[in-house]
Amino acid sequence: MSLTLYAAPMSSATPVLCALIELDVPHDTVMLDLAAGDQKRPEYLALNPNGVVPTLVVDGTPLFEAIAIMQWLGDRYGVDRGLWPAADSPDRLTALSWTTWVYVTYGGALQRLNSAQSDRVDPSLHHAPLAKHTLGELDAMLARLDTRLSDRPYLLGEHYSLADLIVACVVAYSTYCGVSIDAHPQVQAWLQRFYARDAYRKAWS
């Protein structure tokens, strides 16, 4: 099977690269220069009409959206490698729930936070009350994640999986956006275990 990842340094494609490294899946990587507008060129838009990274081309067919790519990688490669639960396992439902939650629910709130306060957003769009409210929402979500991790080292139990990688990547990014994890000791310890993995260090290097 031929896999080509279109990515950019320190972007939303980095978790996908991390997953490919963790799974030890052979692939080619094409790095785009976002500042130069590579992602808006016609040849790339033919693969991903949204004009963003990541895109994974699988035997000539493009797959976009990071969460879709990583869940597909789990299905295709992760089960055999013990890093993703089998389709008929109850843990598969748990893995799909938490990984979709972090991109849709948690990630949606994080987008609102960035719109309300990020220095990468037009200051005329900033809204301090919304930022404060959204930080409270995110903290409550982290509390639920902390509870999940209170009696197990990883999301699915005793062993690390792609579910941890996917959720940890988004939570780690959120800390750079001003979200505090200080009140959530289980999340802190879990993130440290994630940061210690070779795949994380290689992907972010």
Q: What is the pLDDT of residue 33?
A: 97
Res 52: pLDDT: 98
What is the reported pLDDT for 101? 98
CATH number attached to the domain at 3-78: 3.40.30.10
pLDDT at 120: 86
Question: What is the token pair recorded at 191?
Answer: 């993130």
Quick: pLDDT tens for 6-23. Answer: 999 999 999 999 999 999
Q: What is the pLDDT of residue 151?
A: 98
Give the single-character DSSP code of 106.
I
pTM: 0.96
pLDDT tens for residues 26-39? 999 999 999 999 99
Helices (H) and strands (E) in the chain, counts: 9, 4
Q: What is the CATH number of domain 90-197?
A: 1.20.1050.10
| pLDDT score at 204 | 87
pLDDT at 45: 98
Q: With a cut of 50, which residues of the chain have pLDDT below it?
A: none
Nearest to 110 by CA among 175, 52, 197: 175
List the chain domain ranges: 3-78, 90-197
Residues 202, 21 contacting (CB under 8 angstroms): yes
